[in-house]
Amino acid sequence: MASRDARSFHGRQVFRWMYACRELDPKRWTDLPAALRADLIVSAHLAVGRIVHRTPSSDATVKYLIEPPGGGAVESVLMVKSGRVTLCLSSQVGCALGCDFCLTARMRWIRDLTPGEILGQVALIQDDRTLGDRRFNVVFMGMGEPLHNYDAVMSAVRTLTDADGFGLSRRRITISTAGLAPAIERLAGEPRRPKLAVSLNATTDDVRDRIMPINRKYPLGRLLEACRRFRERTGDSFSFEYVLLEGVNDTDEDVTRLARILRSHPAKLNLIPFNPVPGMLPFRPPPEQRVNEISKRLLDLGTRASVRWSQGADARAACGQLAVLPGERGAGALSEMGPRSAAGPPSRRATGSRTSWGVRGS
Order of strands, sheet of 173-177, starting from the edge strand that comes earlier in the sequence = 50-56, 62-67, 74-81, 84-88, 137-140, 173-177, 195-199, 239-244, 268-273, 304-307
At residue 163, the 3 state secondary structure works out as coil
CA angle 178, 179, 184 (to 5 degrees): 120
At residue 237, the 3 state secondary structure works out as coil
Q: Is 197 left (phi over 0), alpha (psi -120 to 50) or beta?
A: beta
Long-range Cβ contacts of 5-9 (<8 Å, 24+ apart): 6/33, 6/36
C-beta separation of 90 from 121 below 8 A: yes
User: What is the C-alpha to C-alpha distance for residues 101 and 113, in angstroms, rounded to an integer?
Assistant: 23
Q: Any alpha helices (H) in the chain, and if so which ranges? A: 9-15, 34-43, 115-128, 150-161, 181-187, 205-211, 220-234, 252-264, 288-300
Write out the catalytic residue numbers.
75, 319
Residue 3 has a CB neighbour count (10 Å cut-off) of: 6
DSSP string, 45-70: -B---EEEEEEE-TTS-EEEEEE-TT
Which letter does DSSP use for residue 268 in this model?
E
Length of the chain (residues):
362
Supply the Cα-derived Rg of the chain in whole angstroms: 21
Cα dihedral 220, 244, 275, 135 in deg (nearest 10): -70
Amino acid (one-letter) located at 192: R
